[in-house]
Amino acid sequence: MKLLLTGVTGQLGTAIAELAPERGAQVVPLVRRARSGKVPFARVFPSLAGAAVTGDIRDPLLGLPDKDISELADTVDAVVNLAGDTNWAGFGRDLYAANVMGARNGYELVRELQKRSGRRILYTYASSIFVAGGALGRIAEGPLSPDRHRTAYEHSKWLAERELDLLHKPGDPDVLIARVAALLGDSRTGRTLKRNSLYLLAERWDDLPGRMLPVMRGARVDVLPRDMAAGALLDAIAGMLRAGPRAEPVFTHICAGDEAPSLRGLLETARALSPLKFGKWVRTVPASADQILWLSNNAERFLALSPAWRNSMIGLRYIGLDRVMERGRLAQLADGPLPAPGTELLARLLFDLPASVRPTAPSDSGLSRFLA
């Protein structure tokens, strides 16, 4: 399959570009025009530079010229829109322009591509599992209701999903809305492009007020290494292309789901792996969902918080709520096992813990080495 990919320089986009050749997929990256102070795309991704097209998700039809649209109509099988504003403490205006209008502009482009080519072309939009807002329990792979607990970022992603749901008409391109979990570094190398607020919480371990972490008793940490998320998303896209046309947009969760470890289990695993890493231990304090949601969204009203600290406070809700993201539809789409990162792997990635070294006995130059 051939994919027009936005957001190729991001955490998930980079992982997809690296994994695509192994999966038999070709990537056509959509990149913004060169800006002063930014490393040129060709220097970062020399292998993709020749296939790149120039555009912007904030512009109609993603800012692509008519010539490029005609060429893409004959070749691409799907448009995968990963680009957007992922600042959990961002401004509503910026989040709306990138996440809501970006989703709509990408869909309008796919409509135009399908119209010109006469072929079935898929539109995939990367949303977030955090559109669940303050919902608890099992979260279904389907449209979600309004929720007063959503942050500006979560609300912009929810509005984007609603926009695509309302735009879709019979005969229109198929739509896959993939709600992606928070991402950690590569499961093999640990390399990460961005340290999101879960990393920031880990970095501020010794500075948490009162040495307390308010959480629900059954709280889970639903995160994925970025390469695992990329593999699951490519599997879901391939599954959509294999299946027949869909009357409605398809929602799926790219996450750990039932395999997500409990917060307490993750913390205890980290401490067991590297006891000396943590100068002081943080105590988890039982709290209600309303308390966690209120604290994560209102702390800046009482404290002068930097943007990084605001992101960290919002991150409390992503590790403190008791809920499970369902993955039944992902299982139907994916041709293979679902992501199941181990607790030890996640602990090592989140807290930058060194890989375990298997102990070896010193060599023995004496005759004892010949004894059974």
Query: Three-class SS string for the chain?
Result: CEEEEECCCCHHHHHHHHHHHHHCCEEEEEECCCCCCCCCHHHHCCCCHHHCEECCCCCHHHHCCHHHHHHHHCCCCEEEECCCCCCCCCCHHHHHHHHHHHHHHHHHHHHHHHHHHCCCCEEEEEEEHHHHCCCCEEECCCCCCCCCCCCHHHHHHHHHHHHHHHHCCCCCCCEEEEEECEEECCCCCCCCCCCCHHHHHHHCHHHCHHHEEEECCCCECCEEEHHHHHHHHHHHHHHHHHCCCCCCCEEEEECCHHHCCEHHHHHHHHHHHCHHHCCCCCEEEECCHHHHHHHHHHHHHCCCCCHHHHHHHHHHHHHHCCEEECCHHHHHHCCCCCCCCCHHHHHHHHHCCCCCCCCCCCCCCCHHHHCC
Q: Does residue 162 lie within any of the structural domains?
A: yes
Q: What are 251's strand-pairing partners?
A: 177
Side-chain half-sphere exposure of 170, counting CA atoms within 13 A: 0
For the chain, what is the domain count?
Answer: 1
Burial of residue 108 (CB within 10 Å: 0-12, 13-18, 19+) is middle
- Rg of the chain over all Cα atoms, to the nearest angstrom: 22
Each as own residue / partner, the long-range contacts of residues 165-168 (CB below 8 Å, 24 or more positions apart, any chain) are: 165/248, 165/249, 167/104, 167/107, 168/248, 168/249
- Provide the pLDDT for residue 317: 84
Q: What are 285's strand-pairing partners?
A: 214
- Provide the pLDDT for residue 255: 96
- Provide the pLDDT for residue 206: 72
Q: What are 6's strand-pairing partners?
A: 30, 81
Residue 154 tokens, joined: 């979560």
- Its pTM stands at 0.89
Q: Does residue 348 lie within any of the structural domains?
A: no
Residue with tokens 């920031």: 200
Q: Does residue 241 lie within any of the structural domains?
A: yes
CA proximity to 205, closest of 356, 350, 343: 350
- CA torsion angle 227 220 346 305 (round to 10): 90
Q: Does residue 124 lie within any of the structural domains?
A: yes
Q: Does residue 141 lie within any of the structural domains?
A: yes
Contact 125, 164 (CB under 8 A): yes
* Tens of each residue's pLDDT in the chain, 372 residues: 999 999 988 889 999 999 999 988 999 999 888 765 566 677 777 777 788 888 999 999 999 999 999 999 999 999 999 998 887 777 888 899 999 999 999 999 999 999 999 999 999 999 999 999 999 999 999 999 999 999 889 999 999 999 999 999 988 999 999 999 999 999 988 888 777 767 767 777 777 767 778 899 999 999 999 999 999 999 999 999 998 888 899 999 999 999 999 999 998 998 888 887 777 778 888 999 999 888 887 777 777 777 777 777 788 888 899 999 999 999 999 988 899 999 999 999 988 887 766 656 565 555 555 555
Angle in degrees, 0-180, between the axes of helices 343-351 and 263-273, rounded to the nearest 10: 70
Q: Does residue 183 lie within any of the structural domains?
A: yes
Contact 66, 110 (CB under 8 A): no
Q: Does residue 311 lie within any of the structural domains?
A: no
Q: Residue 247: which domain range?
A: 2-193+222-258+323-340
Q: Does residue 330 lie within any of the structural domains?
A: yes
Contact 202, 160 (CB under 8 A): no
Alpha-carbon gap, residue 348 to 266, rounded angstroms: 10
The sign of the CA dihedral 339, 343, 348, 349 is positive
Alpha-carbon gap, residue 157 to 149, rounded angstroms: 14
State which amino acid sits at residue 133. G
CATH number where 117 lies: 3.40.50.720
Count CB-CB contacts under 10 A for residue 252: 29
Contact 151, 310 (CB under 8 A): no
